[in-house]
Amino acid sequence: MTSQETKATTDSTIIIDTGCANLSSVRYAFERIGADVEVSDDIAKIKAATRVVLPGVGTAKAAMQALKDKALIDTICGLTQPVLGVCLGMQMLTRASQERGGLSYGNSSKNCECLGLIDTNIEQLDSKGLPLPHMGWNQISPSGHPLFAGVAERSYVYFVHSYRAPLGDFTIAKSEYGEGFSAAIAKDNFMGVQFHPEKSAGVGATILKNFMKMTSDSFAKENAL
């Protein structure tokens, strides 16, 4: 067996089974671009995967509780391969969420403790009087991050959210709805998009294809530069 054949047989993409409602739509989006993906909460499979997707819809409290119930928090925090958080999955990568989860974080009993992998917090979107949730198509301004290779400035993607990560050092794409906010964030091998790539037509497909090209080696080479 050649090295290319060996790589083909060991390359795997796991969508973490968080029990959330958008699992099937995320899986179908990857399958539409020809990706071989599996939905699983098996810790061994997640650790061995070439890349991992963390989906989520609903509240931060419920999503974090699901991860705790499945004993997945330490596993996710220890991953060194590319990890993509989608929608609430992105928010779970941060330190804490302002959603009224009832879990303590710092001195605030109102903030829900998250995974702490990206050094920012999730707060309610200041829509400046526009309706919440922010729902529908909106434009993004992507950075040069490889997740957005081939995605043009002011491309449209589909959002459904009332909370957001602020603009900051970890922003890799921004959007605006009342205020400017992070449409995507990243730190090292952990990336997250606030929008739904699975509902974002060709732009979403391009982003997922870019993610499917990533491996642990991608980040090792980047860090070596």
- Residue in 112, 134, 161, 198 annotated catalytic: 198
Side chain identity, residue 13: T
How far apart are the C-alpha atoms of 175 and 161, rounded to whole Å? 13
Question: φ, ψ for residue 162 (rounded to 5)?
Answer: -120, -10
How far apart are the C-alpha atoms of 33 and 88, rounded to whole Å? 23
- Residue in 20, 99, 161, 196 annotated catalytic: 196
Residue 192's DSSP bridge partners are: 85, 185
For residue 224, count CB atoms less than 10 angstroms from its CB and return exposed for 0-12, middle for 13-18, buried for 19 or more: exposed
How far apart are the C-alpha atoms of 87 and 135, rounded to whole Å? 12
Could you tell me the CA-to-CA distances from 192 to 8, 130, 172 in Å, in that order? Answer: 26, 24, 9
How far apart are the C-alpha atoms of 174 and 165, rounded to whole Å? 10
Tokens at residue 106, please? Answer: 């710092």
- Residue in 20, 87, 112, 114 annotated catalytic: 87
Tokens at residue 197, please? Answer: 């790539």
Examine the residue annotation and report whether 198 is marked as an active-site residue of this protein: yes
How far apart are the C-alpha atoms of 40 and 49, rounded to whole Å? 11
CB atoms near residue 37 (< 10 Å) = 21
Examine the residue annotation and report whether 196 is marked as an active-site residue of this protein: yes
How far apart are the C-alpha atoms of 158 and 194, rounded to whole Å? 9
Examine the residue annotation and report whether 87 is marked as an active-site residue of this protein: yes
Indicate which residues carry an active-site annotation.
Answer: 87, 196, 198
